[in-house]
Amino acid sequence: MSCMKEFTKGLLKENPSLVMLLGMCPTLAVTTMAQNGLGMGLATTFVLVCSNLVISLLRRFIPDTVRLPCFIVIIAGFVTFVSIMLDSFLPELSEALGVFLSLITVNCIILGRAEMFACKNKVIPSILDGLGMGLGFTMSLIVVGSVRELMGTGKIFGFEIMPDFIEPMTIFILPAGGFFTLGCIIAILGVITKKKPKKIGCENCPSRAACKSYAGGTGEEETA
Partner 1 sequence: MELVKNLMVILFTGILTENFILTRFYGICPFLGVSKTTSGAAGMGLAVTFVMIGASAVTYPIYHFVLVPLHTEYLKTICFILIIAAFVQTVEMVLKKHLPPLYNSLGVYLPLITTNCAVLGVTILNIDNGYNFIESIFSALAGGIGFLLVMVIFSGVRERISRCSVPKALEGTPITLIAASITSLSFVGFGGIVDGIFGG
DSSP 153-189: HSEETTEE-S-TTSPP-GGGTSHHHHHHHHHHHHHHH
Candidates 92, 116, 187, 195; binder of partner 1 (CB under 8 A) is: 187
**Residue 62 makes contact with partner 1 by CB under 8 A:** no
Count residues binding partner 1 (CB under 8 A): 56
Contact 36, 103 (CB under 8 A): no
User: In the complex, what is the shortest distance from the CB of residue 128 to partner 1, in angstroms, rounded to a whole number?
Assistant: 25
Q: Of the two residues 21 and 43, which places its CB atom closer to partner 1 in the complex?
A: 21
Closest CA to 122 of 55, 64, 206: 55
1 lies in the binding site for partner 1 (CB under 8 A): no
Find, among 99, 92, 132, 113, the residue nearest to 26 by Cα: 99
Q: Which stretch binds partner 1 (CB under 8 A): 126-134, 135-143, 151-159, 168-176?
A: 168-176
Smallest distance from partner 1 to CB 125, Å:
24
Task: Rule CB under 8 A: say whether 58 interacts with partner 1.
Answer: no
Interface segment toward partner 1; rule CB under 8 A; list 36-44, 140-148, 159-167, 209-217: 209-217
Our finding on whether 224 is near partner 1 (CB under 8 A) is yes
Least Å distance between CB 133 and partner 1? Answer: 17
Q: How far is the CB of 122 from partner 1 (least distance, A)?
A: 26
* Closest to 45 (Cα-Cα) out of 17, 5, 84, 3: 17
Closer CB to partner 1, 73 or 161, in the complex: 73
**Per CB under 8 A, does 206 bind partner 1?**
yes
Site residues for partner 1 per CB under 8 A: 21, 24-26, 28-29, 68-69, 72-73, 76-77, 79-80, 83-84, 99, 102-103, 105-108, 111, 171, 174-180, 182-184, 186-188, 190-191, 196-197, 199-202, 205-207, 210-213, 221-222, 224
